Amino acid sequence: MVKKQTTILNPRNISDILDSDTSSLGVRSADIEAIILSHAHFDHVGDPSTFPPSTNLVVGPGIRDSHWPGYPINPAAINLDSDIQGRHVREITFDKTEMGAVTIGSFDALDYFGDGSFYLLNCPGHSVGHICALARVTVSPDSFVFMGGDSCHHPGVLRPTKYLPCPSQSCHSRLSDRSCESKSESVFTLSPVLTSDYDTALKTVDNIKELDASDDVFVILAHDSTLRGNVDFYPSTINDWKAKGYDMNTRWLFCKELENAQESSK
């Protein structure tokens, strides 16, 4: 079924992209201390085997036992055993006694480097061991980028909320039975099909909504197509997202996308 219905475009591995980069970043695959997986679905794993054994693999709670051994050792596995062969796999437990354990908003989290620059957040529900990341990209004033993985697949699941009401007329869409006239109910609800634990996934989304309302946090969802062409991509950086107004410029773009879809369906 996957072969018949799905096309995967992956012309180069991430390691190849790093090693062939001619920008001033100068980051190579051998420099990568760890690959952090938001979860173990195929479209988020890539090919860790192309990185040297010195690169660790960091995963969320329960991932190690639920996804490995991989194929071909386990013929029914959805991941390759080569993903972990010859490298250290670190599973984050988010235990309160774990070194670096903190709380961010409503999330259990881990201060990864111990200096407040990068956090891993426990964001279960979409799949076993799903985690997100929060990177501090500026200080004085502080600003952050929240990497939401597959916590939800469309920004309309996050917005609007009572914390972040939608501006007048910008969110109107006849595709939804809620047209944002209330200005505080999300356009979409999370689909149970996209979760392994629906109630937990709903709680995770509610927690993300709190962060999304902060003027200092830029929330990025892995499948938010409205970001393409509207924010800088690698090898550029988005440390200056706030100065460039990326959050304000992209926050409600999904509403226009929905309106266009409605018009094209007529």
Tokens representing residue 245 in the block: 């107004």
Length of the chain: 266
Asked if residues 177 and 188 have their Cβ atoms less than 8 Å apart, the reply is no
Q: Domain residues of the chain, as ranges?
A: 1-91, 95-266
CA dihedral 8, 11, 232, 219 (to 10 degrees): 30
pLDDT tens for residues 40-87?
999 999 999 999 999 999 999 999 999 999 999 999 999 999 999 999
Closest CA to 265 of 176, 175, 179: 175
- Please state, in angstroms and as integers, the Cα–Cα distance from residue 63 to each residue in 68, 77, 124, following that order: 8, 12, 11
Question: Where do the DSSP E strands lie in the chain?
Answer: 34-36, 56-59, 89-91, 101-104, 107-111, 118-122, 131-138, 143-147, 217-220
The whole-angstrom separation of Cα 75 and Cα 10 is 23
Name beta bridge partners: 43. Answer: none
pLDDT (tens, 9 = 90+) of the chain, 266 residues, equals: 455 566 667 788 999 999 999 999 999 999 999 999 999 999 999 999 999 999 999 999 999 999 999 999 999 999 999 999 999 999 999 999 999 999 999 999 999 999 999 999 999 999 999 999 999 999 999 999 999 999 999 999 999 999 998 876 555 544 444 545 557 888 899 999 999 999 999 999 999 999 999 999 999 999 999 999 999 999 999 999 999 999 999 999 988 777 766 566 55
What predicted TM-score, i.e. pTM, was given to this entire model?
Answer: 0.91
